[in-house]
Amino acid sequence: MIPTKLILKSVVVLILFFTLFFNFRNTTNTSVKIAKKPKVLKTSKSIVVTKNVKIKNYFSYLDSVVESVNEIENYNLTEHLFVRFNPWLIDSLAATDYYKMIEKDSFVYNQKEMIVLKKGHQLLVPDSTAVDSLLTIFNTTFLDINIPEYKLRVCMDSVILYDFPVRVGRNEKKYLKMGDRLTDLKTKTGIGTIVNHVKDPDYYNPATGRQYFLTRRDDKNVTKLPQIPWIVTEINGVRNGQLIHPTTNPNTLSKAYSNGCIGTKEGDAWVIYYYAPINTKVIIRYDLSTVNKQGDTINFKNIYGYNIKQ
């Protein structure tokens, strides 16, 4: 005969065993449910970034996003339309400017390795109405560059959206290996359009024709060259290599310093790029005076010595 105490101990042990077993199962199941994430990352109105995107992969990523949207929508979305509908992207790109990073005590040797889109960021997809509105804005936006003022303005109709300091071509002639001829370095005036964007430009010294990969900054630090789009213009029906592009040496802005191109700050170049899609009108003028907001006339130095009657 089994003792009563032994039977009671066995029952208690069994009760404890089953209690722990079921508690363990409930705890495990609860953890799985909490850890489970929704698989739906894309809707008709937004796209969630699923991994960090560096600048070197930024354009290919955007191309894939735009392509995927166009496959399911009945309108032609472009990179410029998409980014202008997500203006915070322009701010993020402009913030990668080397000198803005230095102001934050952050030295950047290779800008292409910087993360511009983080996992979890949400990108809004414009509907056809928003696209039509943006296209109307694009059609009324133009770039206005006044050479002796060293100024580039982004305008919409008669409204100035942005104005940026620039550098312009030097007042001299010089032999350039890339053109294999004596070249007038002055920035040419006229009216034209944006005809192309170079999203991952190669850097060459026009005078020697040699490619280079590093740049010495104004603070004497040496870094790799950044990946920022260059804007190709056609002025008076001629593509003469007169580009709008960033300079890694902003100390040269507000000067006649370049080989004819119009140079900007790195951060400003991103803004100009996204406000100047293909076919954007460009005006390059040589006005020696302007009237400021206070109604005062401001005169500029005749840097090219043109015979202009005031």
**Annotated active-site positions, please?**
245, 261
Query: Cα–Cα–Cα angle for 171, 176, 180, nearest 5°?
Result: 135
Question: 154 and 175 in contact (C-beta within 8 Å)?
Answer: no
3-class SS of residue 159: strand
What does the longest C-alpha to C-alpha distance in the chain come to? 127
182: which 2 tokens?
């004596």
H-helix or E-strand spanning residue 208? none
Q: Scan for tokens 């899609």, then name that residue.
A: 277
What is the residue type of 267?
G
What is the residue type of 207?
A
Establish how many alpha carbons lie within 13 A of residue 174's alpha carbon, considering only the half-sphere containing its beta carbon. Answer: 16
